[in-house]
Amino acid sequence: MSASTVTEVEGFSPAAFDRLIESRNEPAWLQELRQSAFDTFQSMSLPSRKEEEWMRTDIRMFHLDKFAVPEQVKPEVELPLGVLRQGVDVGGSIVSYNGHTVESNLSEELRQQGVIFGSIAEVLEQRPELLEKYLLTKAVDPHFDKFSSLHAAFFTGGQVLYVPKNTVVKQPLHALSVLGPGGVDLGHTLVIVEEGAEVTMLNETASLDNKAPGMHCGAIELIQHPNSHLRYINLQNWGQGVWHFAHQKAIVERDSTLYWTIGALGSRLSKVNQHVALVGEGAYCEVNGVMFTEGKQHLSYHTLQHHEAPSCRSNFLYKTALQDHSRTVWRGMIKVDNAAQKTDGYQRNDNLILTEHARADSIPGLEIEADDVRCTHGATTGKIDEEQIFYAQTRGFTRKEAMRAIVIGFFQQVFDRIPLESVRDALGNAIASRVREYE
Amino acid sequence: MTDVLKIENLHVAVEGKPILKGVNLTIKRGEIHALMGPNGSGKSTLGFAIMGHPNYEITAGSIHLNDQDVLEMAVDERARAGLFLALQRPVSIPGVRLADFLRHATTNVRNPDRKEGEELIPMREFRKEIKDKMNHLSMDMEFARRYVNDGFSGGEMKRAEILQLAMLQPKFAILDETDSGLDADAVRLASQSIADIGGENMGLLIITHHDKLLEHNPPQFAHVMLGGKIVETGTVKLAQELHTDGYDRIRKAYPEAAAAELEMNEEEVSPAV
C-alpha cells in the first residue's frame, strides 16, 4: 500500500468505502453487492429505542464514528489458540485478527475430498461462483438494517466452509476471530453443506484485552441442502468493551438436521438476530443457548424459528445467568406459515438472577397460520434458592462452592444436549470461573 | 476421649418469634437419643439451629462440640467438624448429579482444611466406595447419576439422605423424620440401614413420631419436647409409651409447656377456626 493512501479516512464514509473497493480486487458482482448495501447504509440512521426491536437495547453510547474499516495489521502478541479446540483433533483452522485472516489451513485429506475451508478472499479466488450464489443472497438480507448493510458494504475477514455432496467430515473445523484493543471485526461466516453431507464447525471469538473498546458487526450464514447434518458451535467471547452486532441465519432444507449451540459470554453490548428457516419437509433444528453476563453487560438475542415447510421440528433452549448490573433480553418467536402443517415447535428461556440489580427480560412469542401444529413455549426467571445453598453447606460445601454447583447445575440441561466435550468444558469452565460468592 | 455435643440453655427465634426456650441436651458419640414431641414443639428447629440455618436466630445459650463453639462456625464448617443433619424435606438441586455432589461433599468433610479448587478424592476410589455403600443399601447405581433429589419420591429422598450419611460418616447426626413419608417396609429398611452404616459409631439424635425407626437403633435416651423445651427424659420405654398413648400425659404433667405449645401454635391454628 502506498504512503498516500494511509492518510486519515473517516470511519465508514464514502471515501472509506471507495478506498475499500480500490484496495480489493473483487469481481463486479461483489462490488455491486457492496455498493447497493452501502447505499442502504447511508440512507439509514442508527436504530433508536422507538423501534420495537431496540426498545430494550440502548445504543446511545455507541458512536460509529469512533470506529473505521480495519486495516490489515500484524498482531503484536501471540494470539490465543481458542478454547473450543482444546483436546480436539481439528481438520482445519482459520484465525483472523481485527477482521483480517492471519492463518488458514485445511488437512490434505479434506482438501482431496473436495472440502473447502478458507478465508473469503481465498475462496473468492478458488470458487467465485460459490460465493456469488450464496454470499448475502439466500440467508442474511444486507438491507435489513443499518448494521446488516454496514456489514455487507464493508466486510473484510471471515471464513467459508463448503462440504460437497455425501461427504462426511469427521474432524471439526475451527475458526477463531480475535480483536485487538480498539479493533474492528466485520467478519462473515458462510457455511454450505451439500446434500447428504455432514460436518461440525467450531467458531469462536476473543479479545486480547478484556476491557478495551472494539466493534464487531458480523453475519453468519448457514446453508443446508437436503438431508445434510450440521453441528455449529458459536462461542461469543469478545472482551467486555466490544460492541457486538450480528445477523445470523440458517436455511435448513428437507430432512436436514441442525444443532446450533450458542455461548454468549462476552461483549459490552450485543444485539443478535438469530434466525432459523426450516424450508424443507422433515427438517429439524435444535438450538442451545448459554449466556452468562456480569458487570454492565447487555446482551440482546432475538431468535426466530420460522417453519416454512410441513412436518419440521424446532427446539430452542436458552439458559441465562446474570450477575452485577448486567441485563439480557431474549425475544423468541416461533413463526409457522400456512403451509407448515404438522409443525412441532418449542422454545424456552430460563434465567437465573444472581444479584439484586441484574435484570432479564424474556419475551416468547408465537405467530401461527397453520392449524395442525404443536407449539409450546415457556420462560422462567428466578434466583438461587437459599435453601439449596444451606442444604449443600450442610454437606460440607462452602457457600461459594454451593453457588457454583447450583449455577452449573442450572446450565446442565443445556450441556446434556451438547455432545462435544470440548464445548461443554469451555462453557463449563467459563461459567465456573465467573461465579462469585453472593450475599 | 469421647466426642461430646453439648447444648445448653438454647433459645432460638424464627422471624422474631421464640421457638426454643432453653433446651439442654448432651449427646456422647456412640449414643442414640430419640427426640419426640407433638408437631410444632420445636424438634426440627433444634436440628436447624445445631446446623446453623440462617433463618434460625440463636437468642441465648450455647452449642459446643467438645471445646469448639459451634455457634461461631459457618454451616459448612459444622459439617466438616462432623455434624450432619438429614433433612425432613431434602432440597432438590437440578443439574447436579448425586454422585458428583457426594464426591465433593465427601472430599470436603474428610479434608476439613481443603481449600476451594483443590483436588477432589480420586474418581476411581470414590466410585468404588459409593458403589459398595449403595450395594449395601440395596440401591441401584443409576440412582447416583440422577440429579440431587430432583423428581425423587419421598422414599427416594430419604434413602438418598441415608446414603449421604453413610458416605460422610459424621460424628453426630440429626435425623429429622427420616422415616416420614415411608411405608412400613421402607421404614424398616431405613432403620436397618442406619444401624448398618455404623450408627453405633456416631452420636444419633433421631427425631421421629414412630417407634419403627428405633427398632434397629434402640435409644439409650428418649426426650420429649413440648412448647420449646425438653420436658422429660427417659429410656426407650418412654418412646414406646408416647408412640402408643400420645402426649396427653405429658401435657397434663407440664402445664406451663403445654400452654406455651398452645400459644406457639395459635397463629397456625386460628385461620382454620
Q: Per residue in B46-95, pLDDT tens?
A: 999 999 999 999 999 999 999 999 999 999 999 999 999 999 999 999 99
pLDDT of residue A435: 87
How far is residue A9's CA from residue A206's CA, in Å, rounded to a whole number?
Answer: 27
- With cut-offs at 50, 70 and 90, classify the pLDDT of residue B192: confident
Among B69, B56, B139, B71, which residue's Cα sits nearest to residue B102? Answer: B139
Beta bridge partners of A404: none
Residue B267: the pLDDT is 62
Q: Backbone phi, then psi, for A171, in 5-degree steps? A: -80, 130
Contact B108 A390 (CB under 8 A): no
User: Which of helix, strand or coil describes residue B97?
Assistant: strand
Q: In this structure, what C-alpha cell is assigned to residue A416?
A: 446434556
Question: Which of A391, A398, A411 shows the shortest C-beta gap to B95?
Answer: A411
Could you give phi then psi for residue B70, rounded to 5 degrees? Answer: -65, -35
pLDDT band at B137 (very low <50, low <70, confident <90, very high): confident
Q: Are A396 and B164 an interchain contact pair (Cβ–Cβ within 8 Å)?
A: no
CB contacts, 8 Å: B168 with chain A: 395-396
The pLDDT score that the predictor gives to residue A128 is: 95
| Cβ of residue B119 closer than 8 Å to a chain A Cβ | no
Q: Is B168 on the interface with A (CB under 8 A)?
A: yes
Contact: B76, A399; criterion CB under 8 Å? yes
The one-letter code for the residue type at B64 is H
Residues of chain A positioned with their CB less than 8 A from the CB of B114: none
Cβ–Cβ contact B117 with A under 8 A = no
Is A156 inside any structural domain?
A: yes
Dist CA B107 CA B103 (whole Å): 6
Number of domains in chain A: 1
Nearest chain A residue to B100, by CA: A405
CATH of the domain at B61: 3.40.50.300
* Boundaries of domain holding B97: 4-272
B95 touches A at CB < 8 Å: yes
How distant, in Å, are the alpha carbons of A265, A412, B91 from that of A85?
Answer: 17, 21, 37
Kindly determine whether residue B94 and residue A410, on different chains, have CB atoms separated by under 8 Å. yes
- Structural domain boundaries enclosing A17: 10-279
A-chain residues within 8 Å CB-CB of B75?
Answer: 390, 393-394, 399
Extract the C-alpha cell encoding A397: 460445601
Choose the mutation target among B44, B77, B93, B162 for the interface with A, i.e. most A CBs under 10 Å: B93
The residue of chain B nearest to residue A399, with distances taken between CA atoms, is B76
The shortest C-alpha distance from B38 to chain A (Å) reads 25
Q: Which of residues 382-421 of A touch B (CB under 8 A)?
A: 385-388, 390-402, 405-406, 408-413
* Partners of residue B85 in chain A, C-beta under 8 Å: 394
| For chain B, percent of residues with pLDDT exceeding 70 | 96
Tell the residue number behind the cell numbers 483480517, with chain if given: A100
What pLDDT was estimated at residue B273? 38
Domain membership flag for residue A235: yes
Residues of A with CB below 8 A from B88's CB? none
CB contact under 8 A, A406 and B54: no
Instruction: Domain count for chain B, please give it.
Output: 1
In a domain, A292, yes or no: no
Nearest CB neighbour to B91, from listed A391, A400, A408: A391
- Tell me which residue of A358, A354, A350, A348 sits closest to A406, measured CA to CA: A354
Q: CB contact, 8 Å: B91 with chain A?
A: yes
Which grid coordinates belong to A84?
473450543
* Residue of chain A nearest B95, judged by CA positions: A409
Q: Is A380 on the interface with B (CB under 8 A)?
A: no
Contacts for A23-29: CB closer than 8 Å, 24+ residues apart: A24/A121, A26/A124, A27/A124, A27/A128, A27/A132, A29/A132
Q: Do A394 and B116 touch (CB under 8 A)?
A: no
Which letter does DSSP use for residue A177 in this model? E
A287: in domain: no
In a domain, residue A309? The reply is no
Please provide residue B68's backbone torsions phi and psi, each rounded to the nearest 5 degrees: -90, 135
Interface check for A44 against chain B (CB to CB < 8 A): the answer is no
Q: State the count of interchain CB pairs (< 8 A) between A and B.
A: 87
What's the gap in Å between the CA of A411 and the closest CA on chain B? 7
Do A155 and A219 touch, CB atoms closer than 8 A?
yes
For each of chain A's 439 residues, which pLDDT tens digit applies? 333 344 456 899 999 999 999 999 999 999 999 999 999 999 999 999 999 899 999 999 999 999 999 988 888 889 999 999 999 999 999 999 999 999 999 999 999 999 999 999 999 999 999 999 999 999 999 999 999 999 999 999 899 999 999 999 999 999 999 999 999 999 999 999 999 999 999 999 999 999 999 999 999 999 999 999 999 999 999 999 999 999 999 999 999 999 999 999 999 999 999 999 999 999 999 999 999 999 999 999 999 999 999 999 999 999 999 999 999 999 999 999 999 999 999 999 999 999 999 999 999 999 999 999 999 999 999 999 999 999 999 999 999 999 999 999 999 989 988 989 889 988 998 888 888 877 6
pLDDT score recorded for residue B7: 98
Instruction: Find the CB nearest B105 among A396, A412, A413.
Output: A396
Note the pLDDT of residue A149: 98
Cβ distance of A409 and B93 shorter than 8 Å: yes
Q: Supply the ipTM of this predicted assembly.
A: 0.95
pLDDT of residue A9: 63
Residue among B60, B254, B90, B62 at smallest CA distance from B177: B90
| Rounded Cα distance, A334 and A118, in Å | 34
Instruction: Return residues 31-60 of B near A (CB < 8 Å).
Output: 51-54
Q: How far is CA A317 from CA A205, A305, A411, B25, in A?
A: 22, 12, 10, 52
